[in-house]
Structure 1
Amino acid sequence: MFKNKYLLLTCVFYMFFSCKTDKPINFTETNITSENNQIVEINIPLANTDNDAAKSINAATKDYVIKALQIGESNNTTEKSVEESIEDFNQEYTDFINDFPESTQKWEAQIDGEVIFKAQDIISISLTSYTNTGGAHGNLNISFLNFDTSTGKLLDTNALFTDIEGFKSMAKKHFEASIKDKDLLLDPETFQLPENIGYSDDGIILLYNTYEIAPYSSGILEFSIPFEDAKPYLVFNRF
């Protein structure tokens, strides 16, 4: 009888501990602004689950926003909050207008994000930033942030694949198929994986930002590889 009670208590403790540590991570679209903000718009997904993994994901997401708003070189961006970075961006614009009162140039910054994939072991977030501080055109950038769900650790590209060279060879075929109807001067022999690779419901997304492999006029290049093709090379492949 005592043994059965011990086993029952052990099971209850295990179930309680598992529920506590494996709490699913959920997200809320969050608008972030500051008191004196007039030219920055930020809408990003932030994890609303109370655990260390969620805090780590939020920290990395906010760090992207802070860096996207950075003008010039700085060594202390990690010490800033998003709100402080918004204030700094607005102040830079105010200083610009004070120095060049005849200018009619309007500055702006828009940062949006969405969770594009969420599974038991990996979460992918897409973040799009557009900043315009003058010049012929603004700066548009899309980034994929991939996280280990259990720890909230930000994963680099190598951590996504068991055989990155094998994946690269397979991806090259999909790349060539995706651009065959486009008027692009690209040498297939110099194919490289993009800086941004993420998970989505359609498969593995590969995205080249402007200037990454082609002129500005080519814009952003993006294509997907179905999971059934990519699965042999994936570390996170439980679907």
Structure 2
Amino acid sequence: MIKKTILSLNALVLYSCAPNPPEVKGPESITFRIETIEEKLSKDSLLQMRFYIEDLKIDTAYASSESLEGQIRRHLLENNMSSEGNYSTYAEMIKQMMEEYRTLNGEEEINQSWELSQSLQVVLNENGLFGLQSSHSSYTGGAHGNTFISNQTYRLDNQNLLTLDSLLIPAKKQEFIAICESKFRQEQELEPTESLDAKGFWFKEDRFYLPEIFSYSPAGLSLFYNSYEIAPYAYGIIEIRLSKEEIAPFIRGEYILAAAPTSAL
């Protein structure tokens, strides 16, 4: 009995002295490069289609770097998908759009060339966060093309795609919305209680709400309403900008960033 007790105590001591498993952490920032894909379709020296696509490549090697790069690319491809599009690579997207153009051109001659472009800007790469803003433009006939902005903001430790709500302190969200509405009304030259609907905006039930698309950086926060989201095409993309100082009281502590030296939103 004594020997068994001693063995048990020794095992307990060894177990308690064993090092804890290391906590898995992502990098504070990553190195990356932006590569360009350019394709054209011409017939009899006439330009029919043109593609200009910027793609992100992550150079920093860590446990989930490939997963993050793939997730970013999937979101970018989704932003370029037409109602009939279904592709997993840029090569598939270009091939499918070219085939669609040839089919339509065979049925009735298309006198206008099609275009698709995607440009990228890394707006955040510190504090374990990575933010990528993308601008997408396309023209496939009609009175005008379509342009819109998208954004992806990730935690590098778990590749979670952050929403605006995940950045904000829940108890202060309504106050934050009120500040954003005040800025919106000032920029659109609206009185504090003036009807949004009467001025041509399409807010449901004539009540202001925040957009889903945002860009978070050391300089502050930008909110984007894309064309046709809350107003006619002529309004273009509507942006609400808030400085780092303005958003500081509303951001969760874990997502507070260092001040931007010279960069702007």
Which category describes the TM-score, using the shorter chain as reference length? 0.7 to 0.9
> Aligned AA for 2:98?
N
1:96 and 2:96 matched:
no
Deviation per residue, 1:137-179 (Å, 9 max, x gap):
1111110111112222211222121223332122222222322
Contact residue 65 and residue 82 of structure 1 kept, 8 A: no
Aligned to 1:71: 82
> For residues 202 and 21 of structure 1, do their structure 2 counterparts lie closer, same or farther at Cα, with a shift above 3 Å needed?
closer
Gapped regions of structure 1 (runs ≥ 5): 1-9
- SS in structure 2 at match of 1:114: strand
By how many angstroms is 1:33 displaced? 5.0
Determine if contact 1:25/1:54 at 8 Å carries over to the other structure: no
Q: Is the 8 A contact 2:26 2:158 kept in 1?
A: no
- The alignment status of 1:174 with 2:177, answered yes or no, reads no
Q: Give deviations 1:27-75, integer Å, cap 9, x for gaps.
A: 211113579895211013332212244333322331133223323245x
Task: Select 1:86's aligned residue among 94, 108, 113.
Answer: 94
Identity of matched residues, %: 24
Letter of the 1:152 counterpart: Q
Count of equivalent residues: 219
Over 3 Å counting, the alpha-carbon distance change for 1:170 and 1:92 in structure 2 is same
* Structure 1 consecutive aligned stretches of length 4 or more whose deviation exceeds 4 Å: 33-38, 186-189
Counterpart AA for 1:166: E
- 1:204, CA displacement in angstroms? 0.5
Q: Greater shift after overlay, 223-232 or 157-166?
A: 157-166
Q: Which moved more, 1:43-52 or 1:136-145?
A: 43-52
Cα distance, 1:33–1:208 mapped onto 2, change above 3 Å: same
| Cα offset, 1:237, TM superposition | 1.1
Query: For 1:56, which of 50, 61, 67 is the aligned residue?
Result: 67
Q: Is the 8 A contact 2:139 2:146 kept in 1?
A: yes
One-letter amino acid of the structure 2 residue matched with residue 177 of structure 1? Q
Give the C-alpha shift of residue 213 in structure 1.
Answer: 1.2
Pick closer, same or farther for the CA change 1:157–1:94 going to 2, 3 Å. Answer: same
* Structure 2 counterpart of 1:22: 27
Note the 1:11-160 alignment, pairs <5 A: 22=27, 24-32=29-37, 39-73=50-84, 77=87, 80-100=88-108, 102-160=109-167
CA contact under 8 A between 1:130 and 1:141: conserved in structure 2?
Answer: yes
Further displaced range: 164-173 or 203-212? 164-173
Change (3 A) 1:138 1:186: closer
1:179-205 deviations in Å (ceiling 9; x for gaps): 228xx5449961110121111343100
Distance 1:35 1:217 in 2: 30
Match of 1:88, SS state, is helix
Larger Rg: 2
Residue identity matched to 2:130: I
Distance 2:136 2:251 in 1: 28
Indicate the residue corresponding to 2:213 in structure 1.
196
Determine the structure 2 residue equivalent to 1:6: none
SS in 2 for 1:105: coil
